Every structure is written in C-alpha cells, then in structure tokens.
C-alpha cells in the first residue's frame, strides 16, 4: 500500500500497510476464523462449517469502502463486517452461515483485530529501534574522547565529549525500547467476552474457547475480558509518547548541531533528502524534523487516549469508538520518529575539528568555573567572582583568552603551569568517561534483564 499524501510525514510504508483497510479487515476475519476453528474443535459448532468460513476469510473478497460507510451508521466495524462475512458464508454454505460469530460480540472482533495490528507494528518498531541502538553504540565507541562544548540554555558551558552526549541518547532510547516491549507484551492479549463479558452463550466452555482462539492467533489469554478496561492499551500509548519524546530530544540536539554557525554534526543527505526548493546550497535536518513533528503530536494523542479510558459499565459509549484512529496515529507517529532517527544514527557525520574550533572560539571563558575553584582559595569567593567577571567581559579583555587575562592577577603570576593548563578541555571532563561507560553498560543490563 502506498502512503496517503496527507499522511506522508506522519507514517512509514510498513506501518501504513499495517493499518491499511485490507490489513484491518484481514485481522478481523482472522479472529472470526480462529473462533470458528476453536468452537469446532470443542464440537460447539460442526466441523463442516469451518470449511465454508475459512473459504470466505480473505479480505480481498470484500469492499472495504462499503464496510467503512456502513461502520459510520453501525457505530462499530464489527457489525457490518460480520454481516458481510455471514452473507458470503451463506452463499458458500447456508448451514455454515448460522455458526458465524457464534458467542462473540462486535467489540471482540474489533479489539482482537487491533491487538493483532499492534503485534505486527511491534515487530516493525523493534527492528528500527535495534538499528538506532547499534549505530549509537558505534558513535559512542568512536567518539568517547572527542571533546566538544557543553551547552546549557543554548550557551557555551564546560566541555563534554560526543561519546558522552551520544551515550545519553543511547540510554534514553534503550529505556524507551524496554518500556515499549513490556507494554506490548502486556497488551497482546485476546479480547473475547461475548455480550456482557461473561461468555454466557457458551456456558462453561467459554474460557476454553478463549484459550484455543488465543493459541491460534498467538496471543496471551487475559484473566477476564477487558471490554471497558483499557489500561493495557494506555500503557502502550504512554510508552510510545515517552519513547518519541526521547527521540525528539535526540533530534533537537542534532538539528542544533547542524546549524551553519555550529556545524559539528550532519545528517545523511542525498536522494532528495534535506534539499530546498529555492536554496540549492541547503542541507536541512529533515529526518530530525520528522521526529520532532512526531514528538509534538504524541502528547496530545496520549492525552486524548487517556481521556478515552473512562468508559461505562460493560460497553463504552464514545470512548471505545474514539480509540482506533488515536492508536493508529500514535503507533505510526512513533514509527516515523524511530525510522527517521535510525537513518540519522546510521549516517551521522561528526566533525571533531569544528568542535575544537568552537571550543577555542570561547577564548577559554567556558573554564571560568575551573578558574573560580582556584581563585576562591587565593582571593576569597567574592574577590574571585569579581576578577572572573572582568576576565570574561569581552569588551574589557580585548580578544585575550581567559588564561592571558588571569595572568595579570599578581596572586596567580607564580602559577604559570596551572594557567597554561587552564584551557585544556581534556583536563576538565570530570566523570564524563565514567558516566559514558555507565550509560552504555546500563543499556546492556536492561537487555540482559529482558532475556
């Protein structure tokens, strides 16, 4: 399936296919077929009925446009789908049509279909997240000692390393990946409860039917039907929101590093990516922009889903009907952010030379904190603060570096060795290497814990 033009910046081709009309309908028909086979196995319906039901379980045999139109009147896709399904089975075998959808309700069909779609989506997201982690590990390893400016409130701050920065991205994405894996694991459960969630139409055999359906669909069996208990789905939505926020943070950092005035990193380009319709020289952070756009959508979508959780008694009025488009947008927005940042991580160009130039351009002022620790011991805190204010005032120091200006202070003139090393960025990294190792190893611990 091709991506619709209006959604071209909000999904990927694999996820657009997962949530396509044909895919959604096939998931619903897969539930109906699994239901029939489970009931036939328990001799609730005749085995002969399964053959006709199976023959009519292909999505391509139905007009999804007609089903969509009828869904708007029915209030649930389950009603028109089951109606069309039964009609086609009747043409195949009139007797078999009597056993279509036996003991189930329309929400069983819709919810289980949604879970089956989430199962497919989980595999797509997992593959792209693995790509991000692998590439970020490589960046961390390659740039553990690549020194660059730290930046606080977008202003120059004491140095960090590119490896330290990338390790932060890596650990955050990994936490989000594990969080999402756990959420999917909890949510991939069958929905099968019948009219009021008790499976009364099946007598005491309802739970066994549920077990067989779940086995055929490769889903878990919940303790009980969950028609109006949407917390498992909410956990997936919230996990997507957190993960996409982490990817947005990474995208924000990279897009800022790409600015011409900074030029410390560069997204991969080529094949029409990052160009401008009017400015041929431009290399825009397009993948980061897609991730940032997704990160801006997710908070509203997450809030919308949480408000949809408040559903009435055994079948919701409005909340349940609101979920499908919300969840579809959440998963696809998360997917485009993950795929975009996987592409960035795999092709990111880092410019260590420019990082050194930008450090030097501060004329040592980013080491004022380091100098303050020494000056306070010699001059007292207040006098040291006043001296450093003067030493970092670009209007007064006339282009000199911090060390050159501090050399004028009599109390420091005997400390030439210290002054010479003041502006050495490698000498003021603190625990950056330790933290980089911890961040990297913490992701490995999470991975081992999952296994």
Domain-located, residue 159: yes
**Quick one: 328 and 369 in the same domain?**
no
**Quick one: 315 and 258 in the same domain?**
yes
Tally of domains within the chain: 3
Q: How confident is the model at residue 277 (pLDDT cuts 50, 70, 90)?
A: very low
**Quick one: 143 and 242 in the same domain?**
yes
DSSP code of residue 57: -
User: Does residue 20 carry a catalytic annotation?
Assistant: no
Total Cβ atoms within 10 A of residue 69: 12
Q: State residue 279's pLDDT score.
A: 46
pLDDT in tens, 331-343: 999 999 999 999 9
**Quick one: 77 and 158 in the same domain?**
no
Domain-located, residue 5: no
Q: State residue 273's pLDDT score.
A: 62
User: Does residue 441 carry a catalytic annotation?
Assistant: no
Q: State residue 416's pLDDT score.
A: 78
- What average pLDDT does this structure show over 220-246? 97
Q: Which residues touch 426 (CB under 8 Å, ≥6 apart)?
A: 145, 147
Q: Which two structure tokens, joined as six digits, stand for 378?
A: 């010699």
Say whether pLDDT at 445 is over 60: no
Say whether pLDDT at 254 is over 60: yes
Of 442 and 29, the structure prediction assigns the larger pLDDT to 29
Q: Which two structure tokens, joined as six digits, stand for 262?
A: 């900074």
Q: What is the 3-state secondary structure (H, E, C) of 78-114?
A: HHHHHHHHHHHHHHHCHHHHCCCCCCCCHHHHHHHHH
Residue with tokens 């007609």: 66
Of 281 and 386, the structure prediction assigns the larger pLDDT to 386
**Quick one: 272 and 406 in the same domain?**
no
Phi, psi (rounded to 5 degrees) for 365:
-65, -25
- What average pLDDT does this structure show over 329-356? 97
Q: Which two structure tokens, joined as six digits, stand for 182?
A: 């756990």
Q: Which two structure tokens, joined as six digits, stand for 323?
A: 């979920």
Report which of 350, 346, 422, 348 is spatially closest to residue 388, judged by C-alpha positions: 422
**Quick one: 207 and 326 in the same domain?**
no
Domain-located, residue 185: yes
- What average pLDDT does this structure show over 255-278? 80
CB 365 within 8 A of CB 389: no
**Quick one: 116 and 134 in the same domain?**
yes
Domain-located, residue 76: yes
Burial letters 74-101, b for 16+ CB under 10 A, else e: bebbbbbbbebbbebbbeebeebbebbb
Domain-located, residue 160: yes
How many angstroms separate the CA atoms of 97 and 107, rounded?
Answer: 20
**Quick one: 269 and 394 in the same domain?**
no
CATH number for the domain harbouring residue 57: 1.10.275.10
**Quick one: 235 and 318 in the same domain?**
yes
Q: Which two structure tokens, joined as six digits, stand for 141?
A: 């390893």
How many angstroms separate the CA atoms of 236 and 330, rounded?
Answer: 9
Catalytic option among 131, 315, 354, 400: 315
- What average pLDDT does this structure show over 343-363? 96
Mean pLDDT of the chain: 92
Catalytic option among 8, 48, 196, 276: 276
Say whether pLDDT at 391 is over 90: no
Q: How confident is the model at residue 298 (pLDDT cuts 50, 70, 90)?
A: very high
Say whether pLDDT at 66 is over 60: yes
Domain-located, residue 2: no
**Quick one: 99 and 114 in the same domain?**
no
CATH number for the domain harbouring residue 125: 1.20.200.10
Domain-located, residue 194: no
Please state the length of the chain: 451
Q: Which two structure tokens, joined as six digits, stand for 5?
A: 């033009």
Q: State residue 414's pLDDT score.
A: 62
Domain-located, residue 9: no
How many angstroms separate the CA atoms of 58 and 41, rounded?
Answer: 22
Q: How confident is the model at residue 190 (pLDDT cuts 50, 70, 90)?
A: very high
Report which of 324, 282, 280 is spatially closest to residue 112, judged by C-alpha positions: 324
Report which of 64, 1, 2, 73 is spatially closest to residue 27, judged by C-alpha positions: 64
Q: State residue 405's pLDDT score.
A: 87
Q: Which two structure tokens, joined as six digits, stand for 11?
A: 């999904």
How many angstroms separate the CA atoms of 242 and 265, rounded?
Answer: 25
**Quick one: 241 and 388 in the same domain?**
no
The two counts, helices (H) then strands (E), for the chain are 19, 4
Give this prediction's pTM. 0.92
**Quick one: 124 and 273 in the same domain?**
yes
Q: State residue 447's pLDDT score.
A: 53
Range of the domain at 40: 14-104+199-217
Beta-bridge partners for 147: 161
Q: How confident is the model at residue 410 (pLDDT cuts 50, 70, 90)?
A: confident
């Amino acid at each position: 399936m091709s991506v619709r033009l209006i959604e071209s910046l909000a999904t990927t081709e694999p996820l657009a296919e997962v949530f396509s009309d044909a895919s959604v309908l096939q998931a619903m028909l897969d539930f109906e077929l699994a239901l029939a086979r489970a009931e036939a196995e328990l001799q609730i319906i005749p085995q002969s009925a399964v053959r006709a039901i199976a023959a009519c379980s292909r999505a391509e045999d139905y007009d999804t446009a007609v089903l969509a139109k009828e869904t708007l009147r029915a209030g649930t896709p389950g009603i028109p789908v089951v109606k069309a399904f039964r009609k086609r089975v009747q043409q195949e075998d009139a007797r078999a049509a009597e056993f279509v959808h036996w003991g189930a309700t329309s929400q069983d069909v819709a919810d289980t279909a949604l879970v089956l779609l989430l199962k497919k989506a989980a595999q797509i997201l997992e593959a792209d997240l693995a790509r991000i982690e692998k590439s970020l590990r490589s960046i961390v390893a390659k740039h553990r000692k690549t020194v660059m400016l730290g930046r606080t409130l977008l202003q120059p701050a004491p140095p960090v390393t590119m490896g330290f920065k990338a390790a932060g991205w890596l650990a955050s994405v990994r936490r989000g990946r594990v969080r999402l894996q756990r959420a999917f694991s909890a949510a991939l459960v069958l929905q099968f409860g019948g009219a009021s969630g008790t499976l009364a139409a099946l007598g005491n055999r309802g739970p066994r039917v549920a077990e067989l359906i779940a086995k055929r669909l490769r889903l878990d069996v919940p303790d009980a039907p969950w028609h109006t208990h949407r917390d498992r789905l909410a956990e997936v939505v919230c996990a997507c929101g957190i993960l996409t926020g982490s990817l947005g943070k990474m995208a924000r950092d990279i897009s800022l590093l790409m600015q011409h005035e900074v030029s410390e990193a560069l997204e991969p380009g080529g094949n029409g990516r990052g160009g401008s319709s009017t400015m041929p020289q431009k290399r825009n952070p397009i993948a980061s922009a897609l991730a940032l756009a997704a990160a801006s959508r997710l908070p509203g979508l997450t809030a919308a889903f949480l408000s949809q959780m408040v559903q009435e008694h055994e079948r919701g009025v409005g909340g349940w009907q609101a979920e499908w488009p919300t969840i579809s947008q959440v998963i696809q927005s998360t997917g485009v952010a993950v795929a975009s940042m996987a592409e960035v991580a795999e092709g990111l160009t880092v410019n260590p030379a420019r990082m050194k130039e930008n450090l030097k351009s501060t004329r040592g002022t980013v080491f004022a904190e380091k100098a303050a620790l020494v000056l306070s011991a010699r001059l007292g805190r207040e006098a040291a603060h006043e001296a450093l204010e003067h030493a970092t005032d670009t209007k007064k120091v006339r282009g000199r570096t911090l060390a050159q200006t501090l050399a004028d202070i009599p109390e420091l003139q005997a400390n030439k060795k210290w002054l010479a090393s003041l502006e050495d960025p490698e000498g003021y990294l603190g625990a950056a290497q330790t933290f980089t190792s911890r961040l990297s190893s913490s992701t490995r611990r999470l991975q081992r814990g999952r296994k």
